[in-house]
Structure 1
Amino acid sequence: MEPDQTVPATEQRKSSFGDTAIWMRGLYMLLLVLAFGVAQMLLCVTTIAQFLWLLFSGEPNVQLTHFGRSLARWLADTALFLTGATDVKPFPWAPWPPAS
């Protein structure tokens, strides 16, 4: 199959370098990648705290469980945005996800 000879190659494929919306998404992505790293560290701290709580009390801490669930949902929502699976920006541009 031959390429369309009537349209110049530069017009056949449009560049997105001048698209402000894409650059803004890139800025959001950069900020969220940094926040994702902080959240991973927070998840590690929460995990250690929950383990210590289990070790000494024999049962999980309810507050840590709820926080862990909501943090996991935020991490999932952020990963969906970062990978382009959704255009919905997570917290802080949306409410913090519930622990349901």
Structure 2
Amino acid sequence: MSDANFKTNVTSDAFWLRTIYTVIFIVVIRLLDLVLLLSTLVQWVSRLLTGHPHKELGGFCQALGIYYQQVVHYLTGCSDEKPFPFREWPSTLTATAEENVPTSPDQ
């Protein structure tokens, strides 16, 4: 790498803007870890009390997983497209969410 490329990159507004977004999304992903922990506990309690997972929460968790993937792709440079709130929250099909969520421990 030449000194000219380095100087150009360091003085680039796009580089520093991406750096700011990276720091913000690192904080977001840490918060997502807490949401994941809480939703896991709620699903566990739901299975304990009712024998099956909470369907609405399952749909949210599926969207959360897609969002988590989008954030990771942005942070690692696999994608330049910023995730929510810069684009729509990931949507999931209810039928797909129901098919992927087992209703009994035997499945």
Q: TM-score range by the shorter chain?
A: 0.7 to 0.9
- In structure 1, which of residues 27, 33, 43 is the aligned counterpart of residue 26 of structure 2? 33
The 4+ residue runs of structure 1 with deviation greater than 3 A are: none
Q: Larger C-alpha radius of gyration, 1 or 2? A: 1
Q: TM-score, normalised by structure 2?
A: 0.80
CA distance in structure 2 between the aligned counterparts of 1:46 and 1:57, rounded to whole angstroms? 16
- 1:47 partner SS: helix
Give the superposition deviation at 1:60: 1.1
> Which has a greater percent of helix?
2
- Mapping for residues 21-100 of structure 1, pairs under 5 Å: 21-100=14-93
Amino-acid identity (%): 26
State the superposition RMSD in angstroms. 1.1
Structure 1 gaps, min length 5: 1-8
Higher relative contact order (CA 8 A, sep 6+): 2
TM-score by length of 1: 0.86
Separation of aligned partners in 1, 2:20 and 2:92: 28
